[in-house]
Structure 1
């Protein structure tokens, strides 16, 4: 079962995308001489690119990224067994619930370890390409992967199983929760006082500082930085003799592995074992809609989907209307579907945010807008993927104007975004903040465009649920280059990109989504059938 899960996962696009991003981050961790971008900064220095240093920085970079992205690559293994009916077949065998959960955990670990292996191979290539220390020491290079990165991959794999086996966390809520957890681990885990040693960075940073001190380099005025950063001056080099993990660090890594195993077995207490009769109302409500199973093809081959080419049938006694003539009604229908299932509590929180925006001083409007534009996260993530998740692709494919349906769904997302941020907009307009209102307008187009594009391309909501909280977090922390809504201010004026640039990016995302949707909407004729003239 572990090997089957591994083979299944390495063939999906999400695996390749996450792997390429991880390899790219490993490349950035070993920047060229004179580069201003780096992943590890030791008080303005970096180690000579030998096996010990290259292995350390690439292991830290990959652990940091795969703790977040790897979760979304491996977290659908139990859900896939639900969709395909394999889970019910397994439940009828002698395989017990603990054995099933451990097998899924093993598959997750195998996938993440395979990605670490590719990054380790990339590290060897980068060491040889940089040419500062051509001798490759496999032990020195792989030790950071085993001691630092591997335990975090085990913990991530266990968390994916735990979330999938827990009704409240197996849907979009779980995706958002893990984004927050991973973000906290990235930040708090770098502290030397973090529980269980965090990421293990404190021990590594101490080793770096000892080497700098032994070479007469004063590092007291600088610190240790882990994460993609821009430095004004290229990093200077120092000789790092390597790293020997302390006993306390090794013990903390083993404890993390033990905690991961406990998390895997914890759902034995409530896992439904694919029995729908054991699902509670709350669990059913929290479950993300799953794709309808594809109909099996007949022995003679798939039948052509003739309905795609049929003209719309006008209602009796009425003149036929163009597809664009019913566009407003189509938008209204898309908006109703987008908002379906939202409880009164959801609307109550949205209303409270609007009231707070109108009641607070005008200077608080950008801050309230940040809150307003994180609240509909799970609703936005439905854009572009809802029809597939509900099994409606073929039905909606018969609509006479695919472009009209495409734009109607995007327009519904824009209307939702505008409604969620209406309070801050009114407050900015009342205060005469025209620059803030312009940034608001660009953001109101950008957010649904991002969600729509990711949904259309990936056909699931997980990429947006993972990416948008990170983007939002950067804006909250005043990272102006990515401020798409005008929250970062200098002298009261938005410090981020010009609204026209944000709108241009939004339209580019919409265009990319349109191109992908157009390719997928082409009718599929049986093999050997001639296309109409």
Structure 2
């Protein structure tokens, strides 16, 4: 146990002192402010069409906790994953491997450091939720328990589960980041798939991993009993309403029973058990690459001994120097780096989806398959503007000839060309359907993702924040909200307004990227 605390403390301090974490905190505070919308707002976060709870302590506390559970479970995985990889890259793991700490002890320390990071962000959302009660409420008394209990019984266990999932993903999937994201996406969808189940099975709370269904059933029971309705569905997330007329009701919160509390303990115990199981498969930083390097070194020594004797330097045998100051070689190099980044099986999946967009109905290809195809490239483009610092070659690249006029534009153009190539079947079908506005929006949205990657990478020096936002955007698309579809949606008519907004965001991101990179190149 004495070895756990130093690792947990060091890992937590290292993560919490990064610029990416500070930006995440700022985004969290802004998001938590929107979890409880103003009474006159045209959107809701806990939605039963036609009904809305009054802003008493129970409603504000539970809505804040529900949205924190959803958003932090969705994005927290991307925020905390990579702790083991960080130890590998910095070679701290080699030092840890020589200590008496067990595999399970090390993984447990990483689990708790992940949990503390998410707990810090949850604590900020908790404080903002209390503040929102005093801002939004009108005359209802404040009960601190209506805030503490939902966060204690929903948010904290959910953050523990996400922290454990990140550990399992790193142990079993290693550096296959896109596979980690896809499996988490499927698991998260499975956890959210039955939140509206109204079965009276007494064992049902045990299967409610995030605790959301328990609150939903309590709210539905209140509305159905008071208004003689038969509502069977509640939506969690941002839903925009054209009609702002709601019937209000007073909801006093959830009565947490013993079975629900036992289920929280069971889920936490299950995650600890899975982490313990994974410790038997943990590599403990003992890689076969070391053996390969030793073999390679032996071969090099043999070649050095058997090489022909040095016969002098012959300048005439060297190729002629031909200076090239354009950006075309940079674009070609960036494209090659992205294309060769992931394994062949992922390209097989990309090609399969690319071919499918030619034959499935256009609306499905445009609204769902294309966002999936672009999201599968997250590991390729997330390092567009960070790989120089990651590989510690930024001292050379920043000092190269006109880096702002050649390297940064080449990175943006290469990623944009990749996205356009992937979207080509959809673009061709939209052109055949004479939907020019949709074509422009696809290109506009593709540039948005590229510039988000570049700008956030330059600002934070990390790819995590971009991965979180890209995953959140993709998840929102699958919630069927056309206003949030960055590529547009065929069912959404206001292409003009969306294009202008995204175009303005792109311009701001472009200006910000060049301004910050210009400062960085001048202040190494």
Q: TM-score scaled to structure 2, two decimals?
A: 0.81
Task: Determine the structure 2 residue equivalent to 1:227.
Answer: 237
Distance 1:478 1:226, change over 3 A: closer
The CA RMSD measured in Å over matched residues stands at 3.3
| 1:240 equivalenced with 2:241 (yes/no) | no
Q: Is the 8 A contact 1:6 1:111 kept in 2?
A: yes
Task: Determine the structure 1 residue equivalent to 2:227.
Answer: 217
Any residues of structure 2 matched to 1:79-478 within 5 Å, and which?
79-133=85-139, 135-168=141-174, 171-192=177-198, 196-212=207-223, 216-220=226-230, 223-231=233-241, 232-233=243-244, 235-277=246-288, 323=325, 326-358=326-358, 366=366, 369-370=370-371, 372-403=373-404, 404-476=406-478, 478=480
Instruction: Give the CA deviation at 1:209.
Output: 4.2
Distance 1:67 1:398, change over 3 A: same
Task: Determine the structure 2 residue equivalent to 1:284.
Answer: none
Residue aligned with 2:46, SS: strand
Instruction: Give the CA deviation at 1:237.
Output: 3.9
Supply the distance in 2 between the matched residues of 1:101 and 1:236 (Cα, whole angstroms).
50
Distance 1:441 1:211, change over 3 A: closer
Instruction: Give the CA deviation at 1:371.
Output: 5.1
Supply the distance in 2 between the matched residues of 1:224 and 1:268 (Cα, whole angstroms).
40
Instruction: Give the CA deviation at 1:478.
Output: 4.5
Supply the distance in 1 between the matched residues of 2:124 and 2:501 (Cα, whole angstroms).
36
Q: Is the 8 A contact 2:47 2:236 kept in 1?
A: yes
Instruction: Give the CA deviation at 1:112.
Output: 2.1
Task: Determine the structure 1 residue equivalent to 2:299.
Answer: none
Supply the distance in 2 between the matched residues of 1:182 and 1:243 (Cα, whole angstroms).
24
Instruction: Give the CA deviation at 1:13.
Output: 3.0
Q: Is the 8 A contact 2:195 2:216 kept in 1?
A: no
Supply the distance in 1 between the matched residues of 2:322 and 2:116 (Cα, whole angstroms).
61
| 1:509 equivalenced with 2:509 (yes/no) | yes
Instruction: Count residues with an aligned counterpart.
Output: 485
Instruction: Give the CA deviation at 1:27.
Output: 2.6
Supply the distance in 2 between the matched residues of 1:348 and 1:67 (Cα, whole angstroms).
30
Instruction: Give the CA deviation at 1:259.
Output: 1.4
Supply the distance in 1 between the matched residues of 2:137 and 2:90 (Cα, whole angstroms).
50
Supply the distance in 1 between the matched residues of 2:322 and 2:215 (Cα, whole angstroms).
75
**Any stretches of 5+ residues in structure 1 without a counterpart?**
282-314, 525-533
Residue aligned with 2:288, SS: helix
**Any stretches of 5+ residues in structure 2 without a counterpart?**
1-5, 293-317
Distance 1:65 1:441, change over 3 A: closer
Residue aligned with 1:40, SS: strand
Supply the distance in 1 between the matched residues of 2:224 and 2:424 (Cα, whole angstroms).
56
Distance 1:507 1:433, change over 3 A: same
Q: Is the 8 A contact 1:476 1:487 kept in 2?
A: no
Supply the distance in 2 between the matched residues of 1:279 and 1:228 (Cα, whole angstroms).
50
Q: TM-score scaled to structure 1, two decimals?
A: 0.80
Distance 1:510 1:97, change over 3 A: same
Instruction: Give the CA deviation at 1:316.
Output: 10
Residue aligned with 1:245, SS: coil
Distance 1:184 1:12, change over 3 A: farther
Supply the distance in 1 between the matched residues of 2:399 and 2:93 (Cα, whole angstroms).
33
Task: Determine the structure 1 residue equivalent to 2:65.
Answer: 59
Distance 1:417 1:34, change over 3 A: closer
* Deviations, residues 85-119 of structure 1 (Å, cap 9, x unaligned): 32222221111111111122122222222332232
Task: Determine the structure 2 residue equivalent to 1:306.
Answer: none
Instruction: Give the CA deviation at 1:124.
Output: 2.6
Instruction: Give the CA deviation at 1:392.
Output: 1.9
Instruction: Give the CA deviation at 1:67.
Output: 0.8
Instruction: Give the CA deviation at 1:402.
Output: 1.4
Query: 436-445 or 147-156: which moved more?
Result: 436-445
Query: 161-170 or 416-425: which moved more?
Result: 161-170
Residue aligned with 2:412, SS: helix
Distance 1:133 1:453, change over 3 A: same
Instruction: Give the CA deviation at 1:387.
Output: 1.9
Q: Is the 8 A contact 2:157 2:264 kept in 1?
A: yes
